[in-house]
A and B are shown apart, each in its own frame.
Chain A
Amino acid sequence: MNARRLFEVFRQEFRHSLRRPLPWVLFVIVGLLAYGMSTGNATIGSGNTAVGGTKAFITSEFAIAQLVAMLVGIIYAFFVAVAAGMSVIRDEELKVGELLHATPLTPAEYVWGKYAATLAGFLVVLAGNLALMILFNHGVPHGENAEVIGPFAWPNYVRPLLLFALPSLLCMAGTSFALGTLTRRPILVFAFPVATIVLGVALMWNWSPSWLSPAVNGLLMVLDPTGIRWLNETWLNVDRGVDFYNSAGVGTDGLFWMNRAVVVFLGLGAVLLTQWRFTATLRGTRAVRRGRVAPVMAVMPEAGTPRSEAAPLASLGMRSGATGFLAGAWQVARVELRELRTHPGLYLFVPMILAQTLSSVVSVGAFDTSLLQTPGGLAAEAMNTLTLLVCLLLLFYTVESLERERGTGFGAIFYATPLRTGSLLLGKALANTVVALAVLLTALAGDAILLAVQGKVPFRIEPFVLCWGLLLTPTFLVWTAFAMALFALTGSRYATYALGLGALTLTGFLQLRGRMNWAFNWDLWSATRWSDMSVFELDRLPLILNRVMVLGLAAFFVVLTVRLFPRLEADATRAMHRLRPAALARGALGLVPLLVVPLVVWAVLWFQVEQGWEGRRMKKLAKDYWRQNAATWTNAPLPAMAAVDLDVMLDPPHREFRVAGHYDLVNLNGRALEQIPLTGGFAWDSLSWTMDGVPYQPEDRSRLYVFTLPRPLAPGGRVRLGFRYRGGCPTGISRNGAGTMEFIVPSSAVFTGFAGPTLVPQLGFSGEIGPEAKDRPEPRRYPDDVWRDTLPAMLPLAETWFDTRIRVTVPEGFRANATGVLESETTSNGRRTFTYVTDHPVHLFNVVAGRWAEKRGEGATIYHHPAHTYNLEGMMQALSGSRRWYSEWFGPYPWRDLRLSEFPALRNYAQGSPTNITFSEGIGFLTKSEPKADAAFWVTAHEAAHQWWGNILVPADRPGAVVLSEGMSHFSTALLVGQLKGREQQLAFLRQIEDQYANTRQADSERPLTRIDESRAGDGRIVYDKGGWVAWMMMRLVGRESMLRGSRDFIAAWRDSRDHAVLQDYLAHMRRYAPDSTAYDAFVQQWYWEVVVPEYRVSAARAVKRGDVWEVRARVRNAGTGRMPVQIAVVRGVRFADAGKQQEPWRDARATVVLGPKESGEIVVRCGFEPERVVVDPDFEVLQLERQKATARVDLEKEAVAGPPAAAPVRHRV
């Protein structure tokens, strides 16, 4: 290889690459991103989210590594692909290839020079990118983000560049270069970045279910071209604490270097392969696949070809006429389709997209279990994926299609034909639409097969037609038109790619930053949610308007394209004249009519968004409410609810309701009350009030209605406050397709009665309404002995027991369920009225209505969508079992009825209100229940447990109390799963919630269970999962019967108390039931007052046979925190054999060790079977991190000829 020639190729290519728009547009994009990210939006998920807490730096090596790996994998990849892949193709199109190769330039010099120059161009951009990051992070940092900006350190930027970006760029440039050069197909250069994104999103980056084998996990880490999976799996998935991330470098291991080596080898190997093939084809030993640049065959007329004297041309009777618009378009489309058909791109991209679309089979839902696939769910879930990938494909195909005439040299003839420009563009667009159609049809077929294989939910075409046909098609139309307009405007393939990719990146960035709304969300990204029960009822209007706007824009772009399409090469002088303001204005005026529709619809959408329930108007009302009342009414004494009487008329078709009723309030405070505040709904009108039956006008303090009593309400005194109004929920449209907990839509209505003033007034002032997250104060800190005070209930409404009478009127065909027992059901004037009264007082109430089918069971009824019958048996088993076993374990169920009602998945949640549990369809009903992991059973058992932990026992409004409702419900679930489903499912449940806790906890934010208040990131899972797990461990400590008796006694003691319980009350109570109070205190201190989690590792596991006995030795280390006795088992076989399979039975031998933080010891276990593995905590008795790593395979050593048996069956050293 001649260095001078190599450098000459490099120099020319490098200069050219810097003159192209690609790197500059990329530079602008990454510059904007660098600025955006410097505002603190790219931190790793660690740190203390409390005010003043240590935050994860955006400048740490981990944060930069994560960001750089993502940027390269998602954004750089496409730009590099265009530049590298088109490098040789461009020379062929410019017909300089043969000239170059007639010189002494060797293929190696040519190939490596071009590859190196392309790579160097993007390394310059990357260096600029890092420079901008340094500038924005350290040079001109945002004042507000000082806490996330760490000290500047070169290694934090340079090491990620060298370790992550450079190898990935080498790989991406190399593979795209090879694809472009070897196939000479421009479209194929995008194969690698598309595959990277498809596989990355579906598989590589985040997919890591708890059951994934370490070998497969390791393989995926090695194969990921970006290194993101390795980073996540090795360092980020389990939180190491913010101090670690802020100060440590990204430590590497063998897997990392293997991954980087594979990536570099792939990139450089691809270039080497290119060199070899290029050399072979250049000298004619092999044929180039691509026809356009194929060596021209000198085809001579065949010998003896007759050359008859032809008749005059006139005799042919030829006539010319203008080609019809549609006929011309069809002809263009036909030829384009012929090109597509013979093009490998389609056959490469479609399976990729299919794989991504079908990746939902590995997506997980509640409890990390697979989701039950439904046509609607599949159609809606695939929308984001299809949007991104099809838009990318359309960009590539559209640009290459428009470029084809120029590339083949056919343009001069083609553009001189009478074919109308509109026909030309329509024909090409039609052909490219086939790409989208092929993708959609393939995905449709894949989904149909998926549903058939699943065998539970029948295939229906309607959701696909609706989601992909009506909603996605306008997106594809506008995107194609936009790409065409860009090409027409710039006349450059590279500029179009750069601007198109830039537009997609910007859209994605706005989406990620939460800046998108219906008026701008042209691709409907994450704006739709499917419900079998309520098909786009919530946001139907903005959906329609948005699609109309997008279609209008598409029409505009089409006209713009037709006007600007460079069929006629413009004159520079005239072009300058056309750019004069007056001329421009005249041109723009001509386009105004086309902009009328999209602009008007855009304005309407913008107005609607602003006026909607997430808009500025509502925010202002809420903020006014908070600002006007927070200081005066926070924690003001309130009366308690004594009785509720409601008359609710639901009008689902019009999304309205009318409410009339009253609250009977009683003063249980020690002193008289002069005023009573009630919070009213912001969307109520025709509002009127009464006090003790007399019309009354309370003071309206921005929707906090303050009733001043004529005489102070003495302790024990009662007052009746009546109300009447009409309203809707939610009113107006959302901002960008958000779901909502409470709603009335044409198919259903759900009102919790306590989550906010939507259906009924709320007692008192709510500090939750009004402040934005940044304005919200840190939760109040309480002294450790706060639990000794008399504490208020979690909700003012739940302060005492009260009775309810709720009449709900719904249209015929609907059924309404409310708290209590059904007293009467009447039908009049086409409306049904259901009257519910409580047969035992309650602390909460709710109302839900829908068109349901019923399933009755033992002591329970499920109201469900007629088609959602898949999990009814399991759910009913859980409901009935809950009534029976929870009653036995925690005290009698006080009510007669237990209903469970399904509502549309406008938000996925379930609530266990007394007698009347509500479930979103996405919870339970559409969970994929498996024999080994019946998630529908689990979630039903959890909600049913709230009848005891939450409804009978109402926790206090203090930190830690929520563990009594959520954590204890999880604990109850574990018990019930074991009782009814067996040991295997019980361990599966414990494994799932342990994983969820481990994967979502933020080590620095995590507080002890007694202090947790759900205000910080990760609190939710701690409350549920850790709360449940620790109770499970407590049961192991105090014994099952003592635990149940203690819990039962605790509920009985607190159910009628004016004081409300927190976790400390429960811990103090349970101490009496502990057989070893010292051990109990140590346990409580460790698990409830501190934050500890063990993390066990096993190494050096080996066994030697001595006679008939195997002696197994292994080293066990607690890499985490906490000190717990834990069993170490030497095992062989399968513990829970699959039904119908002959598998080796389970055998184990155990030892127990106690290891404190960072302590390790050697265990020796003797067993009478040949050991396979050493497993820590086989019975799930100790909550721990990364349980999958707490095991090791046993190495079998040669049989000892003679030797003493182990001195003791178990020993360990610490």
Chain B
Amino acid sequence: MLSIQSLVKVYPGPVAALQGIDLDVPLGMFGLLGPNGAGKSTLMRILAGLLEPTSGRVTLDGEDVLARPERLRARLGYLPQDFGFYPHLTGEQMLVHLLRLKGVSAPVGQQKLAGELLERVNLSYAARRKVKAYSGGMRQRLGIAQAIAGDPRLLIVDEPTAGLDPEERLRFYHLLAELAEGRTVILSTHIVEDVAVLCPRFTVIRDGRLIAHTTPREARAALDGAIFEGTVTPAELPALRRARAVTQAILVEGRHRVRVHDASGAPPPGFEPATPTLEDAYLVMMRASGGANGAPAAGAPEPARTGRAS
């Protein structure tokens, strides 16, 4: 188990990126959901041993990974949010290089293993091309290939689906799901769908604090009977936003298809009850923490406890 205790990170400024995170991450897929600037990448980089926290403790299976990051690295698969490769190497050479650096071995040998991994991310056809000729999506897939290489005890993927087309995103979902067996996979994302699809549990982070720790099912269940959907004109929307907790507003044929949250079960006129989605839950959580357009909404999922979230 990955255990995070009182983790604080303050950047010069000062900017408190993490304000005392306590979290236990069990085996399997775990989502870290939050808006831009919430502190997700800071947390990921600390967990990956690339960033020194101001204080706090992180253990993996009881071992302090902050004190001895080298012990973690041998068991880590990491896909950063923003990364590059040596442009003068081909994709295959780059991957083989990383396999060697990570000490990854396989019965088929490293060269063939690299080929297999490239196949998994649908890059076989570009294996001999230099990385400098890769598109953003191809680079992302190469990053995924290196992250899943070996048998990482802990896999950290930071915004992994950015830049992937829907087909590749789906492929990656399958890969992650497969990898989640018997290991900890932390998926950091601001895309709610990623969490909805993959993560049996997730945490919502905002302004360096954990504001919720739940499952997609619980999050949705918490809004049962409190989500209503209707259509308003663009002129009516501002007034509705002021009066109600609008979770989503989608423009369809010149009118807004709007979902509102009302814990009392009293919908605005013309609105019908709707099935809550994880996105509804996420946005309600954001509002509940004082973020999205107004006061905390009643009936929102429980914020993370002040104690440990697990």
Hey, which bits of chain A sit against chain B, CB under 8 A?
291-292, 294, 296-299, 301-302, 305, 307, 310, 312-314, 316-324, 327-328, 331-332, 334-335, 338-339, 342, 404, 408-410, 412-420, 567-574
Contact = CB atoms under 8 A, between A and B. Distances in A.
Contacts, number: 175
A331 B86 CA distance: 14
Contacts of A574: 52, 54
18 contacts: A301-B125, A302-B125, A305-B125, A310-B120, A313-B120, A313-B175, A320-B102, A335-B86, A338-B88, A338-B93, A409-B83, A409-B85, A413-B78, A416-B50, A418-B103, A419-B73, A568-B52, A569-B50
B101 A331 contact: yes
Nearest to A427: B101
Contacts of B73: 416-419
A511 B46 CA distance: 48
A413 B83 contact: yes
B152 interface: yes
A307 B171 CA distance: 11
B84 A408 contact: yes
A328 B149 contact: no
Contacts of B152: 320
A321 B103 CA distance: 5
Interface in B22-77: 45, 48-54, 69-70, 73-76
A302 B134 CA distance: 14
Given A321-B103, A323-B101, A567-B50, 19 more contacts: A291-B130, A292-B87, A296-B134, A297-B133, A298-B135, A305-B122, A310-B120, A313-B179, A314-B178, A316-B113, A317-B108, A319-B151, A324-B103, A408-B86, A410-B86, A413-B85, A413-B98, A416-B49, A418-B76
A410 B84 CA distance: 5
Contact of A418 (B101, B116, B125, B179): B101
B107 interface: yes
A307 B119 CA distance: 8
B148 A418 contact: no
Nearest to A406: B84
Contacts of B78: 412-413, 416
A408 B131 CA distance: 11
A571 B9 contact: yes
Given A310-B119, A313-B178, A413-B143, A319 B150 contact: yes
A323 B105 CA distance: 11
A339 B97 CA distance: 13
Interface of B: 9-12, 45, 48-54, 69-70, 73-76, 78-80, 82-89, 93, 97-98, 100-108, 113, 116-117, 119-120, 122, 124-126, 129-130, 132-136, 138, 143, 146, 148-152, 175, 178-179, 181
B9 to A, nearest CB: 7
Contacts of B75: 320
Contacts of A339: 86, 88
A572 B16 CA distance: 12
A310 B119 CA distance: 8
A121 B186 CA distance: 48
B167 to A, nearest CB: 9
Contacts of B100: 323, 327-328, 331
A407 to B, nearest CB: 8
Contact of B54 (A292, A301, A571): A571
A302 to B, nearest CB: 5
B84 A320 contact: no
A339 to B, nearest CB: 6
A409 B134 contact: no
A251 B41 CA distance: 65
Contacts of B119: 310
B80 to A, nearest CB: 4
Nearest to A305: B125
> Most chain-B CB neighbours within 10 Å: which of A320, A321, A323?
A320
A335 B106 CA distance: 22
B183 to A, nearest CB: 11
A294 B87 contact: yes
A301 B122 contact: yes
Contacts of A317: 106-108
Given A292-B87, A310-B120, A323 B51 contact: no
Contact of A318 (B76, B124, B149, B178): B149
Contacts of B86: 335, 339, 404, 408, 410
A573 B16 CA distance: 12
Contact of B87 (A323, A328, A408, A419): A408
Nearest to B182: A314
A299 B98 contact: no
Contact of B150 (A298, A320, A410): A320
A402 to B, nearest CB: 14
A144 to B, nearest CB: 49
| Closest CB pairs A-B (n = 4) | A409-B84, A291-B132, A320-B150, A412-B80
A854 B50 CA distance: 72
Contacts of B107: 317
A331 B88 contact: no
Contact of B88 (A291, A312, A319): A291
A328 B101 contact: yes
A889 B129 CA distance: 85
Nearest to B119: A310
Given A291-B132, A338-B89, A571 B101 contact: no
Contacts of B85: 408-410, 413
A422 to B, nearest CB: 11
A1064 to B, nearest CB: 78
Nearest to B153: A320
Given A319-B151, A339-B86, A418-B74, A294 B133 contact: yes
A297 B135 contact: yes
Contact of B11 (A296, A568, A572): A572
B104 A319 contact: yes
Contact of B116 (A301, A316, A327): A316
A299 B80 contact: no
A370 to B, nearest CB: 44
Nearest to A323: B103
A94 to B, nearest CB: 12
A292 B122 CA distance: 23
A386 to B, nearest CB: 28
B133 A418 contact: no
Contacts of B74: 320-322, 418
A414 B146 CA distance: 10
Contacts of A296: 133-136
A299 B50 contact: no
A570 B9 CA distance: 11
A313 B50 contact: no
B116 A299 contact: no
Contacts of B129: 299
A334 B98 CA distance: 12
Contacts of B124: 305
A338 to B, nearest CB: 7
A328 B83 CA distance: 21
Contacts of A307: 122
A413 B81 CA distance: 10
Contacts of A297: 133-135
A288 to B, nearest CB: 10
Contacts of B50: 412, 415-416, 567-569
A363 to B, nearest CB: 40
Contacts of A314: 178, 181
B51 A568 contact: yes
B134 A299 contact: yes
Given A313-B175, A322-B74, A412-B78, A417 B138 contact: no
A574 B10 CA distance: 10
Nearest to A331: B100
Nearest to A298: B135
Nearest to B51: A569
A327 B132 CA distance: 27
A269 to B, nearest CB: 30
Contacts of B45: 412, 569
Contact of A416 (B12, B48, B122): B48
